[in-house]
Chains A and B, each alone.
Chain A
Amino acid sequence: MIRLDDTDRDILRALQEDATLSAGEIGRRLGLSQPAAWRRVKRLYDDGAIRGQRLDLDHEALGFGVTVFLGVKLATKGRVSLEDFERAVRAIPEVQLVHHVLGLYDYRLRVVARDLADFERILRRRVMTLPGVGEVEANVLLSEERRPGPL
């Protein structure tokens, strides 16, 4: 487990807000020299405290007006069907996220579509035809907030 001090936490919070901040800018905000800030940022990436970056794009402006969260229950279970399902679901370009979960559903998916008609097409042609798929529940996203979390 990676141990963080308060300065590391401040840096993570700043990079959550804006991953493009330079080491110089981070240093100015937190009262560190540019090289000291650079070393800490590099360590946070190298140690894996930061696992990547996310672009925040205006989906609507890019023609993706609809995001839907799906709960998927498999009709048939067993190791083979899980692997088949996972391989096939990863190949759908509109699927942004696949989490294997325990509970009412076996998987939760995040799907983007141009509009509701496009979503219906993806659901019928791509999702409902996945190997082993059973019950599917769809919830259309209205709003979303990312929170900083317990830093």
Chain B
Amino acid sequence: MLSDTDRRILRHLQTDPSLTSAELSERCGLSASACWRRVERMQAQGILRGQHAIINWAALGWEVEVSLRFTIDKTNPRAFDEFLAAARAVREVTEIQTFLGRVDVRLHVIARDMAHYQQIYREKILTLPHIADIEALMQVAVIAEDESLPI
């Protein structure tokens, strides 16, 4: 089980993952070695699994982001696996989620502009196997994006 000190470390790391271990230990009020031991233990336990850079796609010229929500034709028992394998092969897909609910799968798709999106949609999305229905939500603005857990 996590102690309050472990939670404090994770809270500070969530707020600013780029902290150096010296900065982190100072903010947590711990010695550098005590702080590092706890971080290493949480890594070993699989609680802290990794740290990933988030790409700013818009700054790289990928202006369009669309959330595509699929209903899969479940009459074929291989439908999910085949759909997901094909979706992984589409470079412009940045996230794949599966759900319990009205939506079976969501793909987050990026494109350079609307014409490019149209091309990806026709050539790479509509050709994915076992689609029963597709709905698109076009992203207009990011109001909040902070995957921190309220720990």
Contacts and interface: CB of A to CB of B under 8 A. Distances in A.
Nearest to A64: B149
Contact of A53 (B17, B93, B135): B17
A1 B137 contact: no
Given A19-B52, A55-B48, A90 B59 contact: no
B150 A94 contact: yes
Interface string B47-63: 11111111111011110
Interface string B110-151: 100000000000000000000000011111111111111111
B126 to A, nearest CB: 17
Interface in B75-119: 88, 91-103, 106, 110
A151 B147 contact: no
A36 interface: no
Contacts of A75: none
B96 A147 contact: yes
B146 to A, nearest CB: 6
B143 to A, nearest CB: 4
A61 B46 contact: yes
Interface in B1-43: 2, 10, 13-14, 17-18
Contacts, number: 198
Contact of A104 (B60, B97, B137, B146): B137
Nearest to B138: A102
Contacts of A58: 46-49
Interface residues of B, number: 57
Contacts of A16: 52-53, 55
Nearest to B63: A1
Interface in A42-70: 47-59, 61-64, 69
B59 A47 contact: yes
Contact of B100 (A59, A142, A146): A142
15 contacts: A1-B61, A18-B51, A19-B18, A51-B54, A51-B59, A53-B53, A54-B54, A63-B151, A95-B144, A96-B145, A97-B144, A102-B138, A139-B103, A139-B106, A142-B100
Given A147-B93, A150-B91, 10 more contacts: A51-B59, A53-B52, A62-B47, A62-B149, A139-B102, A139-B103, A142-B97, A146-B94, A147-B94, A149-B92
